[in-house]
Amino acid sequence: MNVKFFLDTADLAEIEEAASWGALAGVTTNPTLYSRIGGKLDDFHAHIKRICDIVGPDCPVSAESVAMTRDEIVRDGRELAAIAPNVVVKIPTMVEGLAATRALADEGIPVNMTLCFTVPQAILAARAGARYISPFVGRFDDISEDGLAQLDDVVRAIGNYDFSEDTVNGEQIEIIAASIRSANHVTQAALMGADIATVPFGILKKCVQHPLTDRGLESFLKDWEKVQNA
């Protein structure tokens, strides 16, 4: 398994820009991110399709169900999965969500189990057939807990076992470090062995940049001018 960057946004311009950099492996959206771009209910499926078209068939795109009962989540999940083959149904870690995850996984529909905060939640998600599990780092820090330690616990606990009999087509579960608030969160997630970091566009830009890279480039350009004028 290789470490990957997903973009945590519903903004098409950000997705287009990040995709053009050549290192984007997926997109995660949620109701807040969709609302932030002024998204409307009747355009939701079309919007997810636009995202899928931008990133291409090899990049998973998580689209969240906001239904609260297993039957409604399953219905939502089927509709979302029908948008494009790379749609992953995002479902909160709760009883109804677990039941819906099992039903969708049995139909071959991949699920990203979100709002995960503990190892037992992650294990239940894995046993229910989730293809991706998203432990939230920043939101755990927000309540004065240690989000990175919790991510580390989840990565190690899930890595201890083989859940391939539970997942769609026996695929390996991938842990998505979510609710990422800094480039350091990305560093730590990679050191812990998280499979994916899903990051807002601003943080992705910070991951590319470093002041010493800028300064080094500036001096190379200056010196190259000297070479050209010599």
- Give buried/exposed letters for 120-154 (b at 16+ CB in 10 A, else e): ebbbbbbebbbbbbbbbbeebbeeeeebbebbbbb
Q: Considering only residues 16-35, where is the footprint of ligand E4P by CB under 6 A? A: 28, 30, 32
What is residue 108's DSSP assignment? Answer: T
What part of residues 64-103 is at the interface with ligand E4P (CB under 6 A)? none
The answer for residues whose C-beta is within 8 angstroms of residue 20's C-beta and 6 or more apart is none
> What's the Cα-to-Cα distance from 152 to each of 117, 119, 137, 164, 190, rounded to whole Å?
11, 10, 10, 21, 10
Name residue, tokens 């969500």. Answer: 97
In this chain, which residue has its C-beta nearest to ligand E4P? 179
* Binding residues among 180-199 for ligand E4P as defined by CB under 6 A: 198
Structure tokens at 93: 């870690």
Residues between 109 and 168 with contacts to ligand E4P, criterion CB under 6 A: 114, 134, 136, 138-139
Residue 2 or 32 having the CB closest to ligand E4P: 32
Q: Does 9 bind ligand E4P (CB under 6 A)?
A: no
As measured in angstroms, the least distance from the Cβ of 3 to ligand E4P is 17
Asked if 207 and 219 touch (Cβ cutoff 8 Å), the reply is: no
C-alpha neighbours within 13 Å on the C-beta side of residue 74: 15
Kindly tell me which of 158 and 178 has the beta carbon lying closer to ligand E4P. 178
- Residue 131 DSSP class: S
Closer residue to ligand E4P in complex, CB, 138/159: 138
CB of 179 to ligand E4P, least distance (A): 3
We find the least distance from the C-beta atom of residue 178 to ligand E4P, in angstroms, to be: 4
8 is a site residue for ligand E4P (CB under 6 A): yes
Catalytic residue list: 90
Q: Please give the residue ranges that form the binding site for ligand E4P (CB under 6 A).
A: 8, 28, 30, 32, 114, 134, 136, 138-139, 178-179, 198
